[in-house]
Amino acid sequence: MNIHEYQAKALLRDYGAPVSDGRVVLRAEEAKTAAGELDGPLWVVKAQIHAGGRGKGHFKEADAGDKGGVRLARSASEAAEEAKKMLGRTLITHQTGPAGKQVNRIYIEDGSGIQTEMYLALLVDRQSSRISFVCSTEGGMDIEEVAARTPEKILSFSVDPATGYQAFHGRRIAFALGLTGQQVKQCVNLMGTLYKLFVDKDMEMLEINPLIVTDKGDLKCLDAKMGFDGNAVYRHSDIAALRDETEEDPKELAASKYDLNYIALDGEIGCMVNGAGLAMATMDIIKLFGSEPANFLDVGGGATKEKVTEAFKIITSDPNVKGILVNIFGGIMRCDIIAEGIIAAVKEVGLQVPLVVRLEGTNVELGKKIIADSGLNVIAADDLSDAAKKIVKAVKG
């Protein structure tokens, strides 16, 4: 689960990390008052969307102006004007995709004088099963680009959970970033604070890009991106309350309401599978036979007819889906229930694309009979490769 920059900065502020003063604005009428509450002489007006690259982005609508989603202003009224131009408009960045994202919130901040911009992140490193720090002197730009062109400018190391964060970790980062004097101590403190926040709130990712040295020589977090482990959010009601459903993929949101494990992907074959392992195998075999999955979808072990119907609706609502592969192994799940769910869903939403169904396990004969008797145009398959070959053939012609 991701949150907005202004929410992430409120958490940082609570934990004592250095951030600028700022106000969030939801409606154009609030912009003037919000900007007036900040001191100046520089204001930063920032579009709040769950995507990075806002500064280098652009707006779809001409009346939003030709600047990106992060704008500097020299007066409170100019800041309010910029906020009004961006609210309700569509910001396109390299992370939003070509459709962009509507800007429903603006963060107006006290502007900082910048000496240097650096990069800092904490993340869960799956290889070492530890929390890792990543830092670089190349801040303010795409870390992917730095990693590709000048990997030697990135320092990364993990923290032993038995010792937790130690001052030497912070000093290592400080020296890698070329910090001196009081900045070293600030860095040691800040890294400890970030590590604690990361662990306390069950984060998956915390990125400060840029972390800056201000014109006064102090460290400050100028941007903040946080991602939380969705499976742990139930332990943090304060984090759960920050969820902004308008930022989420509507299909993933619908799926979460029905307790379906669904992740949208870029391919053309919609998959409905039970069990995460079988879902992974199904995606692999679709690729093996030359196509790409449009989603990962695990309907779970004990899915009901309603859940199957909902899953089917979510898959068919994706315009990229050119064919559907249902691959179910009925263990706890009964194949006849799946068959009934598919038929109910098709009756409700129709079927515009080829559908291959492979059923195996409990009540498989009954399941196959229900589908055969339904008169639906379903291609039956017997095993995993047979099913994948048939759906790829049906889609590619």
CB of 108 to ligand GDP, least distance (A): 11
Give whichever of 74 and 396 is closer to ligand GDP, judged by the CB atom.
74
The interface with ligand GDP within residues 102-131 (CB under 6 A) comprises 111-112, 114, 117
Q: Rule CB under 6 A: is residue 342 a binding residue for ligand GDP? A: no
- Specify whether 119 is catalytic: yes
Partner in contact with 54, chosen from Mn ion, ligand GDP, none, beta carbon below 5 to 8 Å by kind? ligand GDP
Contact 132, 158 (CB under 8 A): yes
By CB under 6 A, name the one of 55, 65, 192, 227 that touches ligand GDP. 55
Site for Mn ion in 199-258 (CB under 5 A): 209, 223
- Whether 207 is catalytic is yes
Shortest spacing between CB 70 and ligand GDP, in angstroms? 4
State the catalytic residue, choosing from 6, 107, 109, 119: 119
Cβ of residue 306: shortest distance to ligand GDP, in angstroms? Answer: 40
Instruction: Give the nearest distance from C-beta 42 to ligand GDP in angstroms.
Output: 6
- Minimum Å gap between C-beta 91 and ligand GDP is 10
Residue selected from 53, 65, 192, 227 as contacting ligand GDP according to rule CB under 6 A: 53
Tokens of 261: 């494990």
Check 109, 207, 247, 340 and give the catalytic one: 207
> At closest approach, how far in Å is the CB of 314 from ligand GDP?
30
Return the residues of window 180-239 that contact ligand GDP according to CB under 6 A: 209-210, 222-223
Q: Out of 8, 11, 44, 79, point to the residue binding ligand GDP (CB under 6 A).
A: 44
Residue 40 binds: one of ligand GDP, Mn ion, none (C-beta under 5 to 8 A by kind): none
The nearer residue to ligand GDP, 53 or 361, going by C-beta atoms, is 53
The residues that touch Mn ion, with contacts defined as CB under 5 A, are 209, 223
Binding residues (CB under 6 A) for ligand GDP: these are 44, 52-55, 70, 111-112, 114, 117, 140, 209-210, 222-223
Catalytic residues: 119, 207
